[in-house]
Amino acid sequence: MPNSIALAMLLVTGMLLAGAAELPYGGWIQIPLLSLVWWQISTQANPSIKKLFLLGLSFGLGYFVLGLWWIYISLHDVGGMHPVIASIAVFLLATVMALFFSTACLILRLKKNRYLSGLVLASSWVIVEYIREFIFTGFPWMGFAEAQVNGPFAWVAPLLGGLACTFLAVWVSWEIFQLKKNFFFSATCIVAAITLSQLASLWSFTKPTGEPLSVRLIQGNFKQRLKFNPESIEQQFIFYTKAIESQAADLIITPETAYPWPQSNLPEGLLQSIQDFSTNSASNVLLGVIGETSNTQGVQYSNRIQGLSPNRAPYQYDKSHLVPFGEFVPPGFHWFVNAFHVPMSDFARGKLDQAPFSIERLGQETLNAAITICYEDVFGEELASRIRKSIKPVNLLINVTNLAWFGNSQAPKQQLRLSQLRSLETGLPGLRATNTGLTAVVGPDGAVLAELKQWTQDTLSTKVQAYAGTTPYVLWGSAPILTLSTLLLILGWIRQRRI
């Protein structure tokens, strides 16, 4: 068993690594901190599988408890769950996430090889992170890749995606740890990886298309505990409708569930009024509503974006990647949801192949936007697949969300970084309309171009340049980095067998 000091040190290092992600150059800072993890593990002489597992688990717990503590706000402060149960729930989720980190660390059990060890460790991390994106519906939040939007490996994202950024961050952190033993080789690897990654910024796979769009992103700033209050609902109807109809724009977007009421029960004439405004002002409008779908079980609600255009039939996008417990109830967990007082927490699931939203403009070519709702923009592989398979070319990304669930925490900044990573991967600008922040415009290079302050009721009015083209990551997805990682793991296993 590793001693308690080693476990405590790794726990603290994990917390430092999570905290570093929130800093301006977090992607740079995380790498030497990660090398500190390898040094701490190496102080355990010939650690067993059990020791490595516990050491990795301790590091992961520190990382995810700090990185995901905001879930407590949604469970207790907003959902009214008992503080003990809410705390246990957050700890259990952090533990499950930490299991992936501890599993990746098991590869350190292999005999050390001067040239291969760091590459094999990075490959193990990539495979585990890929699994984390899909198992139990997936929750790839707080990966190392998202911090790389402020790190040295951001420009690898359009080529090979976020997992490649993770690969390089882990590999370079290992070579930093090895500098004392193999200075020339490790220093060469570090310099080469960073230099080549920076040179990748010279390549551009997408280019501007058409005249810039006039865009209005509306931030209502309605507190979550009032979201489904009848009086507050009426205020939301009035505010968003007035905000939409106050000024024309090529594209007007409201946040997720801006109209928090089943679509068929919205005030009479509300949607028709907005449709008339759209037609008369040549504005395209996206509304966050509660949709309704009919199936064999009757009518079921959905988390929907309703699109209204001047000369097209109404568009709709139903969220396909639902949040466990918040938007669908896993079998056997109704008791948990009952303790978490959330109206309409069992939504219908939208299809994965829904068409993008077409944006009409007088005298201009039609542009198309890929829609995601809330944490759907966490899943880069899914978004890339949708764009790749879309019949219509996609020119920009739109994410609508409501982060009032998580209070004054780091969750909005975390999701903004994920949106930045999605823009980097696809080479497309991103628009984020949120209830309480952060409402923002992201460039195709991942840079934040415009942003509203959190906790303010305001509208972000700006011009946005659409882009056309396809990045290698959209074409190939994660297949290249997964193939490379698998081959390196096989090579590491073969060399281990020969020792």
Chain-centroid distance, C-alpha 401: 12
CA distance 346 to 227: 17
Nearest to 24 by CA among 151, 182, 174, 169: 151
Chain-centroid distance, C-alpha 243: 28
Q: Among all chains, which residue has been given the structure tokens 């688990």? A: 57
CA dihedral for 412, 417, 421, 427, sign (positive or negative): positive
Please say if 189 is a catalytic residue: no
Residues 6+ apart with CB under 8 A from 338: none
| Amino acid in position 335 | W
Roughly what angle, to the nearest 10 degrees, separates helices 4-20 and 49-67? 40
Please say if 256 is a catalytic residue: yes
Helices and strands (H and E) in the chain: how many = 17, 15
CA distance 143 to 162: 9
Catalytic residue among 129, 189, 319, 327: 319
Catalytic residue among 133, 175, 374, 376: 374
Q: What is the largest CA-CA distance in the chain?
A: 76
Please say if 211 is a catalytic residue: no
Q: Compute the C-alpha angle 182/14/164, nearest 5°.
A: 60
Catalytic residue among 129, 256, 360, 382: 256
Q: Do 158 and 197 touch, CB atoms closer than 8 A?
A: no
CA distance 89 to 68: 11
The residues annotated as belonging to the active site are 256, 319, 374
